[in-house]
Amino acid sequence: MTLLALSGVTAAYGASPALFGVDLTVGAGEVVGLMGRNGMGKSTTVKTICRMLPAQGTLTFAGHDLSRLPSHRAARLGIGLVPEGRRCFRDLTVAENLTAAARRGPWDMAAVAALFPRLGERRGQRAGSLSGGEQQMLAIGRALMTNPRLLILDEATEGLAPIVRQEIWRAITRLKQDGGLAILLIDKSLRELSQVCDRACMLERGRTVWQGPMDSLTPEITARYVGV
């Protein structure tokens, strides 16, 4: 079943067009990698899905038309975002960050602490005083506390130490193994993406140029559109 569907999506930052025709589908329980070089429109696509940027074209989520919804209504439909740059609520503690976002469902404080034991240990610590890796875990935990049907991770491992990156990838793999949660991943680590993703979508200059199963992604395609 298709959960998220984008067709012919265009968007602009003021007078500057950024997306010229993005097509993307994510099925229930599917893990999709959104790939492309820097500046090709990956994060802009995420902003249009989360309704942080107005867009034209067809955007549906679980049968609902996203194009007229404000950001918080889109999130309530079940879209959980881990934004680029973590962006935790710095003045709140770990527990308060999670509580503020909590909605009814299987993901609660205990489930998040089981996924990231470090967050459980630092429940009372202010988010602003956490390390970068811990803040990233908190950002993922906060998105999970909304009990989403689709989790979007925008550069979730960027700028982190290798050991922390491994921990984040382990958590993403576990989320996939648990099933039920669709994941849209943006990341530069092709190796990890290829291990965890079912499908990939390539963006080039604000357009979808390739979509398909991960195992059909050839070195030629990645060399052409990702540059590796």
CB 5 within 8 A of CB 60: yes
Per-residue contact string for residues 41-60; x = within reach of other proteins by CB under 8 A: ---------x-x--------
Q: What is the DSSP letter of 67?
A: T
Q: Which stretch binds other proteins (CB under 8 A): 56-64, 92-100, 106-114, 196-204?
A: 92-100
Q: Is 90 in the site for other proteins (CB under 8 A)?
A: yes
Q: What is the DSSP letter of 58?
A: E
Per-residue contact string for residues 57-86; x = within reach of other proteins by CB under 8 A: -------------xxx--xx---xx-x---
Tell me the C-alpha distance between 177 and 196, whole Å.
10
**Tokens 């193994």 belong to which residue?**
177
Q: What is the DSSP letter of 188?
A: S
Strand partners, 212: 200
Tell me the C-alpha distance between 175 and 194, whole Å.
16
What length does the chain have?
228
Distance of closest approach, residue 91 Cβ to other proteins, in angstroms: 5
Residue 86: is it exposed, middle or buried by C-beta count within 10 angstroms (0-12/13-18/19+)? buried
State which residue, 182 or 217, has the beta carbon closest to other proteins: 182
State which residue, 75 or 160, has the beta carbon closest to other proteins: 75
Q: Is 94 in the site for other proteins (CB under 8 A)?
A: no
Distance of closest approach, residue 92 Cβ to other proteins, in angstroms: 6
Tell me the C-alpha distance between 207 and 19, whole Å.
6
Distance of closest approach, residue 73 Cβ to other proteins, in angstroms: 8
| The two structure tokens encoding residue 147 | 């009990």
**Tokens 């010229």 belong to which residue?**
20
- In terms of phi and psi (left: phi > 0; alpha: psi -120 to 50; beta: otherwise), the region of 21 is left
State which residue, 141 or 202, has the beta carbon closest to other proteins: 141
State which residue, 100 or 228, has the beta carbon closest to other proteins: 100
By CB under 8 A, the residues from 132 to 151 that bind other proteins are 142-143, 145-146
State which residue, 22 or 139, has the beta carbon closest to other proteins: 139
Q: Which stretch binds other proteins (CB under 8 A): 94-102, 116-124, 190-198, 216-224?
A: 94-102
State which residue, 72 or 191, has the beta carbon closest to other proteins: 72
CB 206 within 8 A of CB 41: yes
Q: Binding residues for other proteins, per CB under 8 A? A: 50, 52, 70-72, 75-76, 80-81, 83, 87, 89-92, 96-97, 99-103, 126, 142-143, 145-146
